[in-house]
Amino acid sequence: MASDQQKQILQYLLYKPLVSLKDLEKIYAAAYEKQGRGEEIRDLVRSLNDLLKPAQLGIKSRLCEDNNEEYFALINMIESEAAKHTSEFSPAEFELFKWIMKEIVSSESGSVSSIDCINQSSYIPKLTKTDAQKALDKFLDSQWLNEREGEVSLTVRALLELEPLLKKLDEDLQNCKICNKLAVKKVACPDCGAKFHRYCISRLKLKCPACHQVWRSLEDESTPSQISLSQTLSQTSNPSTSQVPNRRNGGVRRGRSHMESDDSE
C-alpha cells in the first residue's frame, strides 16, 4: 500500500516519466515537505520499484550521454500488449520516429538534424511537412527525443526503454566498453576501434582499456561533423550545455568506470 506521498510522486511520473536527479529531489521536497538527498532518493526509488513490480513497470536511471547527469525514467519492464494497443503515434508518425531512431544510432554523433527529420516527410506517405513538425513536437513533448541547437537525439528514457528496438535498427550498435551501457553518442579508439562514451574515456585519461594506447585527443578526425572537445570547452556554460570533463579535475564525478580508482573523489 503506497503512502500519500508515494502516490503523488507516482502520479507525477505518469505524466512526466523522465526526470533528472535534481528534478527528483524537488519532487521529493514537494511531496515530503523536506529536503531529500542521496540515500533518501535511492530509498524512494527502491520503494517505488517494489510498488511498481505487479504492474511490470519500473524506475531506472542512467547517466545522460550529453552532460553525464543522472536521469530517472518510469519505463515498461516488458513488451506489453497494452503498450502495443495504445500507441500514442499514428502509423505515419511512427514511421518517422523509426527513421529518426535509425539515423541517430547509425551516426557517431548520436543525433540527426531536425531539418532532415522534417524533410523526411517527403518519403513517408500521408505525412506532410506540417505533420512532421507536429510529430517532432510530440516526440519532444513526450520525452522520447531531445533537441539542442537543431540536433535531435535520444533521451535517457528512450535509451532505457527502447534498447531492444535500437539494437535491431543497427547491428553495429554496441555498449561502451568501459561502463557497459549502450553507447549511442560514441567515440572510437583510433587504434583498435573500440567504442566508448566521451565521459568514460575521459575519466580514464584517454587511455584505451582495450589496447592500452593513449589517444592524443577526443577529436575524431574521420568524422568532421563531430564536435571536438576543445570546441565544447570554449562554449559558454548554460543549463543545457554539456558539462565537459576537465582534465584538471581528473574527470567526472559518479562512477561510470570501476576499472580505475578516481583520484578526484
Tell me whether residue 1 or residue 171 sits nearer to other proteins (CB atom).
1
Residues 19-58 that bind other proteins (CB under 8 A): 27, 30-31, 33, 51-52, 54-57
Q: Write out the three cell numbers for 94.
A: 511512427
CA pair distance 172, 99, nearest whole angstrom: 17
Pairing label, strands 18-20, 195-196: unpaired
CA pair distance 26, 255, nearest whole angstrom: 23
Q: In the stretch 188-207, what mask flags binding to other proteins with x, by CB under 8 A?
A: --------------------
Tell me whether residue 27 or residue 160 sits nearer to other proteins (CB atom).
27
Q: What is the residue whose three cell numbers read 568532421?
A: 224
CA pair distance 116, 152, nearest whole angstrom: 10
Q: Please name the residues in contact with 263: beta carbons below 8 A apart, sequence gap of 6 or more.
A: 250
Q: Is 141 in the site for other proteins (CB under 8 A)?
A: no
Q: Is 214 in the site for other proteins (CB under 8 A)?
A: no
Q: How many CB atoms lie within 10 A of CB 128?
A: 13
Tell me whether residue 7 or residue 98 sits nearer to other proteins (CB atom).
7
Q: Please name the residues in contact with 46: beta carbons below 8 A apart, sequence gap of 6 or more.
A: none
Tallying the residues shown for the chain, one arrives at 265
Stretch of residues binding other proteins (CB under 8 A), selected from 83-91, 203-211, 231-239, 241-249: 83-91
Tell me whether residue 33 or residue 171 sits nearer to other proteins (CB atom).
33
How many residues form the binding site for other proteins (CB under 8 A)?
A: 31
Near other proteins by CB under 8 A: residue from 35, 42, 83, 233: 83
Cβ 160 to other proteins, closest distance in Å?
17
Cβ 25 to other proteins, closest distance in Å?
13
CA 91, 174, 206, 228 torsion: positive or negative? Answer: negative
CA pair distance 96, 122, nearest whole angstrom: 11
* Amino acid of residue 2: A
Cβ 78 to other proteins, closest distance in Å?
7
Cβ 158 to other proteins, closest distance in Å?
17
Binding residues for other proteins, per CB under 8 A? 1-2, 4, 6-8, 10-12, 14-15, 27, 30-31, 33, 51-52, 54-57, 76, 78-83, 85-86, 88
